[in-house]
Chain A
Amino acid sequence: SAVISQKPSRDICQRGTSLTIQCQVDSQVTMMFWYRQQPGQSLTLIATANQGSEATYESGFVIDKFPISRPNLTFSTLTVSNMSPEDSSIYLCSVEREWNNEQFFGPGTRLTVL
């Protein structure tokens, strides 16, 4: 398995502000992903964070709202921009070991927007 940490673990933010979430992995990985889990809901993929190029976003998610950085093979950030209460969710990063197709998740960042 992979050891994945996320910062912050939780935050309470005001409407209109932005929050950057960090994801750190204990070893180099090619595939990193960002998911959102809205209250009482399942997980939805936001984007794939590509090292050295722009992230690939899923339908319904755009770069202006969720800019992502991937400066190296062990680190990524997700920014939630111009937040509204609808952005209140748990945000999770995950990594995949390509040789066994298994994906491991970070502990998540619980975001509340007032």
Chain B
Amino acid sequence: GNSVTQMEGPVTLSEEAFLTINCTYTATGYPSLFWYVQYPGEGLQLLLKATKADDKGSNKGFEATYRKETTSFHLEKGSVQVSDSAVYFCALSSIGGTSYGKLTFGQGTILTVHP
């Protein structure tokens, strides 16, 4: 079955530091890949997505590239801000058969950014 593995957290950074959160996946076929973010006290929001190999999703300074050869979708940001403190979830969506539309989530990574 499908699975998503994220780097263990929590991650603590100083403001303006470079961020990488690793995500690897196992899936049959060609899933779509997503990063979701959950800010303190708020609901789950879609941050970015990529639907095919070599696609790069980007939003709010965050980027992730769909790497089929390494089955990875690592999240990066060049300069984090205190407001980026949140929980980040990597997820994949099956696009065919009876599993269509179902999201499989990684375990989540807590990011804390200090001033």
B24 at interface by CB-CB < 8 Å: no
Number of B positions contacting A (CB below 8 A): 23
Which of A33, A94, A98, A103 is packed against the most chain B CB atoms within 10 Å?
A103
Q: B106, A42: Cβ atoms under 8 Å?
A: yes
B58 at interface by CB-CB < 8 Å: no
Q: Determine which of A1, A48, A92, A96 lies in contact with B44 in the assembled complex, contact meaning CB atoms within 8 Å.
A: A92
Please give, as numbers and ranges, the residues of chain B lying within 8 Å of A101 by CB-CB distance: 32, 49, 51, 93, 95, 101
Please give, as numbers and ranges, the residues of chain B lying within 8 Å of A103 by CB-CB distance: 34, 46, 93, 101, 103
Number of A positions contacting B (CB below 8 A): 24
A residues adjacent to B (C-beta < 8 A): 1, 31, 33, 35, 41-45, 48, 56, 58, 92, 94, 96, 98, 101-108
B residues adjacent to A (C-beta < 8 A): 32, 34, 36, 42-46, 49, 51, 89, 93, 95, 98, 100-108
